[in-house]
Amino acid sequence: MLNSDTVVTPGWLDALTGLAKVSDAFGLVGPMSNYAAPPQLVEMVPYRLGPKKARAGEPLHSRSECSTFDASAVQAFARDFAAEHKGKWMQVERLGRFCLLVRRAVLERVGWGLDEWRDLSLFETDILSAKAHQEGFTLVCCRDLFIHHFGTRTFAHGAPQNAEHEREQANQWRRSFNPEPTARVTTAPRPPSPLAPG
């Protein structure tokens, strides 16, 4: 799964698939990001997003609708971040859907059983995470992979009309399965990717 409001960074797919290959028990794999729930959250990033500089005579409303984004700064930060945290990953209780690798075995065992919750577009990965746990899968996060997430742009034109219903349905699910959020950082070698240079 990859949201349209993300900016992927060098080696992102190799990092996700490489960590998935460490163990068949790793059912869901995600990255770190500037816009995610802890423990996937990287709170401080050195690049910035901001409004475009106004041109002479430009209406105020058109300025607020645009922003500057330096993709090269994001890529540079992601490379440094990967080097600093090389080989590190952590086990987590939930993963966000903005960028998520789901092992086929998870879908075969729990994916098709999500029909009862199919209208929970805002909360579907909470439920997928819980179901994967119940089936014995482990959720892991690549500590050495950073993906930029603009956040909320998937629903930039408004949340789904049934968002309140979705929220109540998701709360019902959480009441029946509500693990404490925990994370444990681990370092482990990854198998070399066939796509990696050298």
pLDDT digits (tens, 9 = 90+) for 12-60: 999 999 999 999 999 999 999 999 999 999 999 999 776 555 555 555 4
* pTM value > 0.75: no
In a domain, 192, yes or no: no
Q: What is the mean pLDDT of residues 87-101?
A: 95
Instruction: State the pLDDT at residue 176.
Output: 53
Instruction: State the pLDDT at residue 171.
Output: 54
Short-list 170, 186, 89, CA closest to 129: 170
In a domain, 27, yes or no: yes
| Residue 95 confidence class, pLDDT cut points 50, 70, 90 | very high
Q: Which domain holds residue 37?
A: 6-44+87-187
In a domain, 180, yes or no: yes
Instruction: State the pLDDT at residue 128.
Output: 86
C-alpha–C-alpha distance, residues 91 and 106, integer Å: 16
In a domain, 105, yes or no: yes
Domain count, the chain: 1
Instruction: State the pLDDT at residue 169.
Output: 53
In a domain, 49, yes or no: no
Mean pLDDT, the chain, integer: 77
Tens of pLDDT, residue by residue over 104-119, are 999 888 865 555 555 4
In a domain, 158, yes or no: yes
**Half-sphere exposure in the Cβ direction for 20 (13 Å, CA):** 19
pLDDT at 187 over 70: no
Sign of the four-CA dihedral 28, 32, 33, 35: positive
**Token match 């290959």: residue?**
21
Q: What is the mean pLDDT of residues 90-114?
A: 87
